Structure 1
Amino acid sequence: MSFAHNQAMSAYRTAAAQVPPNVAVVKLYDLAIRSIRLAIVSLGEGKVEDTYIAVNKACQVLRGLTSNLRFSPDNDMADTLKSTYVANMIALHTAFGKPDAARRYAQIAEGLLELRNAWADIAGMPRAKSLLQRSTSNAVRTPL
């Protein structure tokens, strides 16, 4: 396993040990979305390396979520979530360096926000507002 993968797994274990599993999943989505928001801000400031680091952090979280899915022959949800997480990781890396990367990152974050809010409903947590309802720089500093 890579160092990045170990970090993602460690973050999941830490969150899982302190809160119920559904709450941990919501917190991990929050971390991934905040990382994408940070990538957008860094991109706007011309900080290419910081953008890359933020994108990788979001991917680490998604990789950690993927590795904790329970697969069984009758569990289509795990397959669907894995496909979603992998598609988002690919989209994050594909967007890097593109002229419209900020727009792409925002779309990815919006999609993850929908998933996050679905998990928040299950966990009995408050829903987060859309990224489009707040300024990007403010969105990085404020919690979901």
Structure 2
Amino acid sequence: MIEFHEDVSWRVLARLFSEGRKFDFAFIDGCHNYDAVFIDFWFASRMMNAGGIIVLDDVKFPSVRKVCRYVLRHMPFRVIDAAGQPDPHRSWKWECLDMVKAIIPNLSQQIFKPEILRPDLEISRYFSCIALLKEADTWDYEKFCDF
């Protein structure tokens, strides 16, 4: 069943969460700033049944990719599909970065952002949307995960 709620997503999702609703599928497409995407994902993940799928649209936006990185590192989700083109090749810049990381590993961690040092190949900057499967209902939503 598909439902339409004419209101901002954070308000609707908070209401559905407080009602104890559960879902097997969610499609997140809206405001593209990190805060809005993360709030939408957080509520959707809390209401998602294990085995359910959340699709994030507009993964080309750095803020949306950052949410994906957090989710894949800290929450019980994995990529099951993506739409768009994968990174066509590894440029010479990546080869140089690998050399810098090997020569000065500790300093390179202070210089470069995590998404540069450890790019998530599952979240290519060329993908337009990504489907994430919730593997389990065991994640502690109260714990702090640094990122």
Q: Fold-level match, TM-score > 0.5?
A: no
Considering fraction of residues, name the structure with more helix.
1
Q: Structure 1 length as normaliser, TM-score?
A: 0.27
Larger gyration radius, structure 1 or structure 2: 2
Q: Structure 2 length as normaliser, TM-score?
A: 0.27
Considering fraction of residues, name the structure with more strand.
2
